[in-house]
Amino acid sequence: MSLFAANRNFRLLFSATAVSNLGDGISALAFPWLATLITRDPFLISAVAAATRLPWLLFSLPAGVITDRMDRQRLMVGADMLRMVLTMGVVGLILSAPPMPLADNAAQAMPLILGLCAAAFLLGSAEVVRDNAAQTALPSVVEKTDLERANGQLWSIEQIMGQFVGPPIAGLLIAISVPAPFLVDAATFGIAAFLIWQIAMLPRVQVQQTAGFWRQMKEGVAWMRGQPLILRLALMLGVLNFVTMMSATMLVLLSQELMGLEATEHGFLLTAGAAGGVCGGMIGPKLVHRFGAQACVLGALIVFPFPFILLALTTNPWLAGGALFLEMAAGMTWNVVTVSLRQRLIPDALLGRVNSIYRFFGWGSIPLGALFAGLLVSVLEGAIGRDTALRVPYVFGAIVCVGLAIYGALRLRLPTR
């Protein structure tokens, strides 16, 4: 019997993940597209992307302590409800704005971008707490022997809904009305909160927590320092996410200006990446079972440079879609291996803290990558032209990924199950 059919709690978690990631997929297109309706400045557009991910740099560590001290289910529900309210605030921001797109150098552009950045930052802050609690809660929903299978299914549905279904829907909704995608996004958060509330979590072993917030944080840091493999994977993920966010931030301008795509077409372009993510999520556990975790992680590292090379060279949407497919398939295989490894090795009492430290290194670089991409293009476009400048982040990403592949071959040694 399948895990989905046999485990009611996993069905609820799976369904909540599907619904909330549908909303995330809608906002993944709607937020940057809304930013381009306000301004064409690459740095300001990248600032919106950075604001969404900046909380991973600022709040990952305290979120881990909070996750270990509090009820993880309540944290997830509360975060989703807060995200619903905040998304309705974005709707209010749009309704208060002049008709879009705004003219170049419009006086209203800067206040609107700042408002959008503030909303993105608050939504990202809630996401930090919600996602950390969700990932650390999985071992309380399924048995440890099912972690690869459960993670593969969850990562797959995240990709299906977040990038395969959500972006095209967002493109269609934007064509109808600019606020429409955000209204749907708000509804998905409310539904996800209700589904999470219905889960009957397996009882956790209650461990007496050492008094003091910072003392508890130091316990997580001490465990991480004693596990060089986990720390090495976290740092490598940080570098990967830095260059991946550079690519993702400029993709909306690459799509509009070099490929000539409209919102709906851009949405379908993103679904190519989702298809790769689904393939990686579904076959990743099978590849691990057949070839082992070591071979799968090294294989992903070898693949990573090629999508950047394709995106740097092409203006063909089909080739760009192929690059996104390849990138996400490799990324999902990496995730299936490394997330399952963490969930298996980290003690439950420390899982929230260590997971947050891992994400501090692995995800904290994301807003820096977004800002660096926007700054790089803004600085270079005057000297080498805008079209060429938009390709530079992809050349940079390819070079970095080649270096990571060499480093991984020399330094990574993953344990067998």
For the chain, domain boundaries: 3-203+212-411
pLDDT at 65 (0 to 100): 77
Burial class (CB in 10 A: 0-12, 13-18, 19+), 65: buried
pLDDT at 326 (0 to 100): 94
pLDDT at 204 (0 to 100): 55
Q: What is the mean pLDDT of residues 317-340?
A: 90
Residue 385 has pLDDT above 90, yes or no: yes
How far is the C-alpha of 27 from the C-alpha of 100, rounded, in Å?
18
How far is the C-alpha of 399 from the C-alpha of 243, rounded, in Å?
10
Residue 352 has pLDDT above 60, yes or no: yes
Share of the chain above pLDDT 70, in %: 94
What confidence tier does 282 reach under pLDDT thresholds 50, 70, 90?
A: confident
pLDDT at 237 (0 to 100): 94
18's tokens: 């599907």
Q: What is the pLDDT of residues 42-83, one digit of tens each?
A: 898 889 989 988 888 888 788 777 877 788 888 999 999 999
How far is the C-alpha of 275 from the C-alpha of 281, rounded, in Å?
10
Residue 241 has pLDDT above 80, yes or no: yes
In the CATH hierarchy, which fold is given to the domain comprising 3-203+212-411? Growth Hormone; Chain: A; (1.20.1250)
Nearest 10 degrees: Cα torsion 271, 272, 278, 283: 170
Q: What is the mean pLDDT of residues 9-21?
A: 89
CB atoms within 10 A of CB 20: 30
pLDDT at 324 (0 to 100): 94
pTM, full prediction: 0.76
What's the mean pLDDT when you consider all of the chain?
86
